[in-house]
Copies of this chain bind each other. A is one copy, B any other.
Amino acid sequence: MPEPIHQVTFQPDNITVDVYRHGENLLRVAMAAGVHINASCGGNGTCGKCKVIIDQGKVESEHSAKISDEQWEQGYRLACRTKVIDDLIITIPPESRIDNSALKRKTGGQRHILKARDLNTLVQGLTINPAVFKCYLELPPPTADDNMSDLGRLMREIKRAYKYDHISTDFHLLRRLSRVLRQAEWKVTVTLVYNPKGFKLIDLEAGDTTKDNYSIIIDVGTTTVKGQLLNLEECRIAHSNANGTDADNENLCAEDAKYNSQVRFGEDVISRIVHSQKKGGLEELQQAIVGDINDIITQLLKSADIRDDQISHLVIAGNTTMTQLLLGVDPKYIREDPYVPTANFFPPVRAVEIGIKLPDYIHLYVFPQVSSYVGGDIVAGVLGSGIFQREELTLFIDVGTNGEIVLGNADWLVCTSCSAGPAFEGGGVKNGMRAAAGAIEQVRINPETYEPMVITIGSQKTMGICGSGLIDAAAELLLTGIIEPNGKFKRDLDTDRVREGENGWEYVLVYADQTASGIGDVVITEGDLDNLIRTKGAIYAGCRILLESVGLSFADLDKLIIAGGFGQFINLERAITIGLLPEIEPEKFLFVGNGALLGSRLVSFSREMMKDARRVADMMTNIELANNMKFMDEYVAALFLPHTDTAAFPGVMKILKGSG
């Protein structure tokens, strides 16, 4: 674990917490510590409710019209607009706080969210040797006595300088090979790509461009598409220099995300497959996702201020349907019993051939799949989290639009997929959205006043609610008794926030005057809760079935890894409270964030990892849940908060009884 940088003590409750990042937002520190401060605008400074007094230590804080000059002199600040740059003692004035007793009992659970720099440590023996790499060469110019072909001369020098032999060549490069060699006066940089059959020469540039070696990695999700731009060269340098260098921060140059434009043709993979069977449907879907990827690439290049010819590699991980649609491969049979994908291993293809706007030498690596419903994103997650290398019995859960689950260790891996629905990515949720700026990602509710404390991503005006916010909100609604275990609102509470709206009963998280323009009230409806319960129920049931298939139970697990696009601040206890996760020892949980990007990053950095990706996909034995009656029983049993089998959640039940 990293060392804390600052400590903040909150008064009057005398709660001290460690802060790991210089400049951390004070409202977030309070939220993480389980210290309630009123905040109804998401953290953008407009409601003015989160006033605190800085008793000791330095902060950076914005002036606000909500704080008088007199208050400012007394040390009043808005917590949401204040950065922690020192050890602090803070007093929360009465108007900003509530009695914390109801909340304090629920804090204390450890959050194992790994920081980016720790992710590479999940896998063992990672050496940095990117699958696509560059070599600088100075060739002797041809003479009458040495006038072999240009390609032969290049290969001879690669062999002499780097010992690589039997390199194949991309045909398209040959068309400019001779010109570039001469324009560069025989001082050139070659780009080679590793593949299972050896090396392939894909690009040639004038001069020494070895420093320009970037990879773009894309997670093609059913609901959300995410991209990152990685600097492969910086990573190599960082890795070779020393331990403790923050390699990951160095090499992550930019990131971007957007909704998958295919959403307009259907929310889940099944509706997309249905659309693909219409005339022109496959082309529409293919062009939609390629357009999204092109948009993301444009944005990444712009953010990092680099040219497209500095890119060497494109790595994409997606579920099986997304992968086939991206490649223009008809997904029809994924949906038809017995659920057969076209291929699990896709040959390398030049990105331009599927319409991606990158220079024509760039090859697309597509993560291998396991089955129709366990795709490359899951293989990437299993790879990235190192399960396949360890003896520990690990359960890996990736919560996206589908919930995919993998169980096993270095010796065996079984996996399955359950139709979880896109609730955690904002789908099927009235004010749902993906984890982007303005999304509510953390929620606490005052058990007495039923008033919420919400924080949005980027402390922006509220736009909606993302997965982690939804889990928080559902758990809080349950813990505060606003909803029943069946997800229905109590009709008789003394608060205006619970009301009958257009879509039935709902709870108002943020009123329209505190949300972004045009958004209106941000609410959670009974329909949203229903979707959430079905989602969490499917995942929990899937885990049970997978464990049962090998004669094990949750108690046997050494580790439970959670991947997925919930947003940054998923709260373990809240996830257990609603029965999404089993009630096991908190120290067994590990959150790894986006598994697809995690694995893609490793494959960009390491050709051994690329080999391992194939091996992992081969290792994974798929278990089908469709038509599985035991799964249906488990699913129905899980459609309750936390579960109909209350004995499996003793801790949650104890709290519920205490608060009820």
Chain A positions near chain B (C-beta within 8 angstroms): 142-144, 146-153, 168-171, 174-179, 182, 197-198, 327-330, 332-333, 337-349, 353, 369, 371-372, 622, 624, 627
Contact = CB atoms under 8 A, between A and B. Distances in A.
Contacts of A151: 342-345
Given A347-B168, A624-B147, A175 B329 contact: yes
Given A171-B346, A182-B333, A148 B353 contact: no
A170 B347 contact: yes
Contacts of A176: 330
A356 to B, nearest CB: 14
B345 A147 contact: no
Given A168-B197, A169-B347, A174-B342, 8 more contacts: A144-B624, A147-B340, A147-B622, A149-B341, A151-B343, A170-B347, A178-B342, A182-B333
Given A197-B197, A333-B150, A338 B175 contact: no
Nearest to A198: B197
A340 B174 contact: no
Contacts of A175: 327-330
A149 B328 contact: no
A150 B338 contact: no
A553 B146 CA distance: 27
A353 B143 contact: no
Contact of A343 (B147, B177, B344, B369): B177
B338 A174 contact: no
A175 B339 CA distance: 17
Please give me the 7 A-B residue pairs with the lowest Cβ-Cβ distance, nearest first.
A151-B343, A147-B338, A171-B349, A149-B344, A178-B342, A144-B338, A149-B341
A319 to B, nearest CB: 14
A353 B624 CA distance: 41
6 contacts: A144-B338, A147-B338, A149-B371, A150-B343, A174-B329, A175-B328
A293 to B, nearest CB: 17
A149 B197 contact: no
Contacts of A178: 329-330, 332-333, 340, 342
A472 to B, nearest CB: 39
A205 B326 CA distance: 24
Given A178-B333, A330-B179, A343 B152 contact: yes
B342 A149 contact: yes
Of A151, A171, A345, most buried by chain B (CB within 10 Å of CB) is A171
Contacts of A622: 147
A579 B220 CA distance: 72
Contacts of A344: 148-149, 151-152
A624 B169 CA distance: 27
Contacts of A168: 197, 347
Of A178, A337, A338, A624, most buried by chain B (CB within 10 Å of CB) is A178
A327 B171 CA distance: 9
Of A146, A153, A329, A340, most buried by chain B (CB within 10 Å of CB) is A340
A339 B146 CA distance: 10
A174 B343 contact: yes
A344 to B, nearest CB: 4
A573 B169 CA distance: 48
Contacts of A179: 330, 332
A370 B216 CA distance: 40
A197 B348 CA distance: 15
B353 A147 contact: no
A342 B197 contact: no
